[in-house]
Amino acid sequence: MAEGEPIRVVVTGAAGQIAYSLISMIANGDVFGTKQPVILHLLDIPPAMGVLEGVCMEIDDLALPLVKGYVKTTEPEVAFKDVDAAFLVGAMPRREGMERKDLLSANVKIFKVQGEALNKYAKKDVKVLVVGNPANTNALICSFYAPSIPKENFTAMTRLDQNRAQSAIAKRLGLCVSNVKNVTIWGNHSSTQFPDVFNASVTSSDSSKSVYDSINDTQWLEGDFIKTIQTRGAAVIQARKMSSAMSAAKAAVDHMRDWWSGTASGSWVSMGVISDGSYGVPKDLIYSLPVSISNKQWKIVQGLKITDFAKNKLDLTAKELLEEKEEAMAVCNA
Ligand SMILES: NC(=O)C1=CN([C@@H]2O[C@H](COP(=O)(O)OP(=O)(O)OC[C@H]3O[C@@H](n4cnc5c(N)ncnc54)[C@H](O)[C@@H]3O)[C@@H](O)[C@H]2O)C=CC1
Ligand SMILES: O=C([O-])CC(=O)C(=O)O
């Protein structure tokens, strides 16, 4: 695409709380670059149209030069027409006491309908990021109903978990989050996820040391640290009475920006992507894996050391995803 030509970016759930932060960051150039104009496609359901009208007024009032227009709609065929990138946020959030998979029966059909619409109307190289929970299984269903688009183009967001883990390690060490590199989130965006710092490092201007050596507290790293990241979403809900939104929007920006622009040499990020059997993960799940990215293509980072401790955790979260897949297919076929 010639520089200067706008790309079309859809945000679903555009009247919701994550979108409220996300839209302004896209409009500001934080995702696709400060030279890339955008046309925003904003999808929500009829009862949310009044709120969305207000969001559109605010988009005007942002007065940002990259926004070349917006389309406000309740129709998937309008929302997904010719889009280059899709942020699929619109779905019910969980409340206190629920697991994310409890949302499956309510949300998965949204992703069937949107998969079908992407299949018919979107560009074939559209990059799809599913945020709505349960994100991994929703992404799998979306891809299943969009067979004309490569499976590699459907991803689920585990970047918020990565950001949480990186931040927790930096805080423990009294360092800046940018000093912590190559944290990996394996598996499901759920309480079975495995936040893994075995291959992560702490860097400063002239040195690099493993996180394990720097922290020097295996009991914490393999106990409280993991539990805290696995249950961080629930902790935010308990405190806010609403689920994470500001941090979720920032993570969506990080995920799509890195997919669009690539990762630095020697570093990786975590994304829910279609599994190919790497690391013994069953094929054809949307499973969070370490990926490096160049030319807008992600590649699974191979050869990381998996301890017996880690292997058990990888298997446990895969088992949950297999169960979710079965349940989701049953809901969609009912
Ligand atoms: N993967 C992740 O790390 C995270 C995922 N989430 C998930 O993101 C989703 C959205 O969260 P919030 O923005 O806080 O929720 P929200 O309730 O504030 O907004 C959701 C919006 O989606 C709309 N919506 C519902 N059905 C729709 C449909 N069929 N098409 C288009 N729009 C539709 C609603 O009308 C509402 O405006 C939830 O499922 C939440 O659990 C939240 C945080 C992190
Ligand atoms: O916990 C939730 O339901 C929202 C979410 O996915 C998160 O904050 O990670």
pLDDT digits (tens, 9 = 90+) for 46-65: 999 999 999 999 999 999 99
Q: For ligand 1, say whether the CB of 197 is within 6 Å of any of its atoms.
A: no
Please name which ligand lies nearest the alpha carbon of 133.
1
Kindly state the tokens that stand for 1: 């695409």
Q: For ligand 2, say whether the CB of 244 is within 6 Å of any of its atoms.
A: yes
Kindly state the tokens that stand for 114: 């949107």
The answer, yes or no, to whether residue 1 has pLDDT greater than 50, is: no
| Shortest-distance Cα residue to atom 8 of ligand 2 | 233
pLDDT on residue 47: 98
Q: How far apart, in whole angstroms, are the C-alpha atoms of residue 297 and residue 278? A: 17
pLDDT digits (tens, 9 = 90+) for 132-160: 999 999 999 999 999 999 999 999 999 99
DSSP secondary structure string, 89-126?
--SPPP-TT--GGGGHHHHHHHHHHHHHHHHHHS-TT-
Alpha helices in 37-102 (DSSP H): 49-62, 76-79
The answer, yes or no, to whether residue 75 has pLDDT greater than 50, is: yes
- Binding site listing: 44, 94, 100, 107, 131-133, 164
Q: Which long-range contacts (CB under 8 A, 24 or more apart) does 208-214 make?
A: 208/181, 211/169, 211/180, 211/183, 214/173
Going from the Cα of 298 to the center of ligand 1, the distance in angstroms, rounded, reads: 26
Going from the Cα of 6 to the center of ligand 1, the distance in angstroms, rounded, reads: 26
The answer, yes or no, to whether residue 259 has pLDDT greater than 90, is: yes
Kindly state the tokens that stand for 65: 């030069």
Residue 93: cis peptide before it, omega within 30 degrees of 0:
no
Q: For ligand 2, say whether the CB of 236 is within 6 Å of any of its atoms.
A: yes
Buried-state track 198-211, b at ≥16 Cβ within 10 A, e below 16: bbbbbeeeeeeeeb
Q: For ligand 2, say whether the CB of 162 is within 6 Å of any of its atoms.
A: no
Please name which ligand lies nearest the alpha carbon of 236.
2
The answer, yes or no, to whether residue 89 has pLDDT greater than 50, is: yes
pLDDT digits (tens, 9 = 90+) for 183-222: 999 999 999 999 999 999 999 778 899 999 999 999 999 9
| Shortest-distance Cα residue to atom 7 of ligand 2 | 233
Q: How far apart, in whole angstroms, are the C-alpha atoms of residue 289 and residue 310? A: 13
Q: For ligand 2, say whether the CB of 133 is within 6 Å of any of its atoms.
A: yes
Per the CB < 8 A criterion, the answer to whether 207 and 169 are in contact is: no
Q: How far apart, in whole angstroms, are the C-alpha atoms of residue 141 and residue 137? A: 6
pLDDT on residue 73: 98
Mean pLDDT for the chain overall: 96
- Binding site listing for NAD(+): 44, 107, 131-133
Check: complex ipTM more than 0.95: yes
pLDDT digits (tens, 9 = 90+) for 265-287: 999 999 999 999 999 999 999 99
Which of 131, 191, 255 for a ligand 1 pocket mutation test, highest count of atoms within 8 Å of Cβ? Answer: 131
**Element (H or E) spanning 181, and its range?**
strand 180-181
Helix or strand or coil: residue 194?
A: strand
Q: Which long-range contacts (CB under 8 A, 24 or more apart) does 1-6 make?
A: 1/84, 3/35, 3/36, 4/35, 4/37, 5/37, 6/36, 6/37, 6/38, 6/39, 6/68, 6/69
pLDDT digits (tens, 9 = 90+) for 227-254: 999 999 999 999 999 999 999 999 999 9
Point out the ligand 2 atom lying closest to the alpha carbon of residue 244. Answer: 8
pLDDT on residue 207: 87
Q: For ligand 2, say whether the CB of 160 is within 6 Å of any of its atoms.
A: yes
User: Which of 28-32, 103-107, 128-132 bottoms out in mean pLDDT, i.e. has the lowest?
Assistant: 103-107
Point out the ligand 1 atom lying closest to the alpha carbon of residue 19. Answer: 13
Kindly state the tokens that stand for 271: 């994304």
Going from the Cα of 243 to the center of ligand 1, the distance in angstroms, rounded, reads: 10
pLDDT on residue 2: 41
The answer, yes or no, to whether residue 3 has pLDDT greater than 60, is: no
Q: How far apart are the first and last CA of the chain?
A: 42
Q: Which residues are catalytic?
A: 189
Please name which ligand lies nearest the alpha carbon of 91.
1
Count CA atoms within 13 Å of residue 90 on its CB side: 25
Q: How far apart, in whole angstroms, are the C-alpha atoms of residue 84 and residue 128? A: 9
Q: Which long-range contacts (CB under 8 A, 24 or more apart) does 294-298 make?
A: 294/262, 294/263, 295/262, 296/127, 296/259, 296/260, 296/262, 297/152, 298/152, 298/155, 298/259, 298/271, 298/273
What is the value of pTM for the model shown?
A: 0.98
pLDDT digits (tens, 9 = 90+) for 25-35: 999 999 999 99
